[in-house]
Amino acid sequence: MKFGGTSMAGTERIRRVARIVQRQQAAGHEVAVVVSAMAGETDRLVTFCREANPLYDPAEYDVVVASGEQVTSGLLAMHLQALGCKARSWLGWQVPIKTDNAHAKARIEDIDAEALTASMASGEIAVIPGFQGVSPAGRVTTLGRGGSDTSAVAVAAAVKADRCDIYTDVDGVYTTDPRIVAKARKLKNVTYEEMLELASVGSKVLQTRSVSLAMKEGVRVQVLSSFIDDDAPAADTIPGTMIVSDEELAKIQEGLDMERQLITGIAADKNEAKITLTRIADRPGAVAAIFGPLAAANINVDMIIQNIAKDRGETDVTFTVPLADLARTQALLEERKDTIGYYRMLANSKVAKISVVGVGMRSHAGVAATMFRALADRGINIQAITTSEIKVSVLIDEDETELAVRVLHTAYEMDGE
C-alpha cells in the first residue's frame, strides 16, 4: 500500500491512513506500506537547498529532502501502534533499498527483502519511507520527484506482493486530469503501455518510472483514493483503476462485449520549452552538430521539426527541451553558434504539449486528423507535432492548455456525466 503526500498531510489524515492499513491487515493480508512526505514538504525542503546554495551538492540535497518521508514513516508506525497493530518503520538504508550513485535521481538496483518479509510474516506492518534509498557508498539517495510510486512498486516486486495499491487524492486514473476537466471519466482498467505513455506526457498521477518497473516486473498496480469512509468498499474489490496487460484487458472487454475505446486518455505538459534555430545550412551533419552536444549534456530533446527553404539551401530547425534545461540549452547553443552556423536562436517557454493516448490508434486511421480539426475549429494554432504508435502530441500556446484539453475530450466523445 502506498500513500501520497495529501493522504499523509497531518495527524487526522495519517490516522485515517492507519485505519485503512489496519483494515487490510484484518482482512488477512500481510502488509508493507510506503509513504510520501506530507504534501508541500518536499517543495519546502528543496527551497531550503536552493537558498543554501544554488549549485548545491546533490548528495547533501538528498540528505535534506529524504527527511520528509522519514517523518511520515515514523508517524504512521506510531498511529498503527495506537490502533493496537504491530508496526515498525524501515528507512531506505535499513531495508536496504540499494540504488546507484546518481544523487537526486537515483535508480533502484536491488532490494534485499529478507528481513522485511520475515518481519511481515510475524504480523508486523512494515512502514517504508518512499523516495529514498542508499548508494553503494552508503549514503542516502532520492529517486527524483514523485519517486515514492517507484519505491512502492519496487517493494511490491521485492516481497512478491499480490497487488500494489497506490492510494492518492483521486479515486483512480481518469481520461484526463479530473481537476482540469470536470467531465473526465474514471477508467476501470488501463494497460501498462498506455499508462506509461500517459505518465511520460504529463499525467503525473503515477511517476513514469514506477509504471515501467511495474510492467517489467509484472506488478499488479491499482490506483485508488485514501479519502474514504470506514464503510467504503475494500481495496480487494478493486474500486479504483487497475493497470493491466494488453492481454488481460482484451479478456476483460471480451467478457463485457465492449468496443475498445479509440482514445484512452489526454494529458497536458507545461514543462517544455521550444527553441528555433534559423537559417542552418541544408547539408549532412547540420542537425548532428545541434543535437550531439545536447545529448552529451544529458538534455532530452522531445519534438523536432525541420523546414527546408528550397531556394536558399537553408533550413529552420525547431525542437523542444525540458523547461528546466532551457537556460543550459541556450548557453550550449550560443557557445556553438559558429560551428552550427545558424542565424538566430529563438526561445519560447510559454508552450504546452497536449497528447492523446490510446492503443486503439494502432488499428484506426484518423486520430490525428480529428485532433487537428478540433483544435483548428477553436482557433488553436499547432506549433509542432510528434507521434508514436499509440500517441499523438502537439505543441500549443500555454494559455490555451485547458481549453485544448477540454475541446479534445469532447471531440473524442470521452465526456462523462
Residues that bind ligand ADP (CB under 6 A): 4-7, 36, 146, 168-170, 173-174, 176-179, 203-205, 265
Burial of 3 (0-12, 13-18, 19+ CB in 10 A): buried
Burial 369-402 (b: 16+ CB within 10 A, else e): ebbeebbeeeebeebbebeeebbbbbbbbeebbe
3-state secondary structure of 326: helix
Q: What is the largest CA-CA distance in the chain?
A: 80
Binding mask 351-390 for Mg ion (x = CB under 5 A): ----------------------------------------
Minimum distance from residue 203 beta carbon to ligand ASP (Å): 15
DSSP per position, 9-45: SSHHHHHHHHHHHHHHHHTT---EEEEPPPTTHHHHH
Minimum distance from residue 257 beta carbon to ligand ADP (Å): 26
- Residue closer to ligand ASP by CB (options 3, 342) is 3
The answer to the question of residue 146 lying near Mg ion (CB under 5 A) is: yes
**Which residue is nearest to Mg ion, using beta carbons?**
146
- Residue closer to ligand ADP by CB (options 98, 185) is 185
- Rounded to whole angstroms, how far apart are CA atoms 55 and 27? 49
Neighbours of 78 (CB within 10 A): 14
Report what 173 binds from ligand ASP, ligand ADP, Mg ion, none; CB cut-off 5-8 Å by kind.
ligand ADP
Minimum distance from residue 179 beta carbon to ligand ADP (Å): 4
- Residue closer to Mg ion by CB (options 4, 358) is 4
Report what 133 binds from ligand ASP, Mg ion, ligand ADP, none; CB cut-off 5-8 Å by kind.
none
Interior CA angle at 319 toward 314 and 325, to 5°? 130
Burial of 32 (0-12, 13-18, 19+ CB in 10 A): buried
Query: How far from chain centre, in Å, is Cα 76?
Result: 25
Minimum distance from residue 300 beta carbon to ligand ASP (Å): 19
Relative to beta strand 272-281, strand 265-269 is unpaired
- Residue closer to ligand ADP by CB (options 7, 276) is 7
- Residue closer to ligand ASP by CB (options 131, 412) is 131
H-helix or E-strand containing 406? Answer: helix 401-411
Q: Which residues contact 278 (CB under 8 A, 6 or more apart)?
A: 316, 342, 343, 344, 345, 346
- Residue closer to ligand ADP by CB (options 204, 328) is 204
- Residue closer to ligand ASP by CB (options 148, 200) is 148
Report what 37 binds from Mg ion, ligand ADP, ligand ASP, none; CB cut-off 5-8 Å by kind.
ligand ASP
The answer to the question of residue 147 lying near Mg ion (CB under 5 A) is: no
- Residue closer to Mg ion by CB (options 5, 92) is 5
Minimum distance from residue 4 beta carbon to Mg ion (Å): 5
Minimum distance from residue 321 beta carbon to ligand ADP (Å): 22
- Rounded to whole angstroms, how far apart are CA atoms 161 and 163? 5
Of 129, 138, 46, nearest to 88 (Cα)?
129
The answer to the question of residue 96 lying near Mg ion (CB under 5 A) is: no
Three cell numbers, residue 140: 542516502
Report what 383 binds from Mg ion, ligand ADP, ligand ASP, none; CB cut-off 5-8 Å by kind.
none
Minimum distance from residue 105 beta carbon to ligand ASP (Å): 11
Report what 191 binds from ligand ADP, Mg ion, ligand ASP, none; CB cut-off 5-8 Å by kind.
none
Minimum distance from residue 284 beta carbon to ligand ADP (Å): 42
3-state secondary structure of 372: helix
Reading phi first (left if > 0) and then psi (alpha if -120 to 50, else beta), residue 28 is in left
Positions that interact with ligand ASP (CB under 6 A): 4-5, 36-37, 42, 68, 130-131, 145-149
Minimum distance from residue 264 beta carbon to Mg ion (Å): 20
- Residue closer to Mg ion by CB (options 143, 275) is 143
- Residue closer to Mg ion by CB (options 15, 204) is 204
Interior CA angle at 18 toward 148 and 90, to 5°? 50
- Rounded to whole angstroms, how far apart are CA atoms 69 and 283? 53
Residues forming contacts to Mg ion in the complex (CB under 5 A) are 4, 146
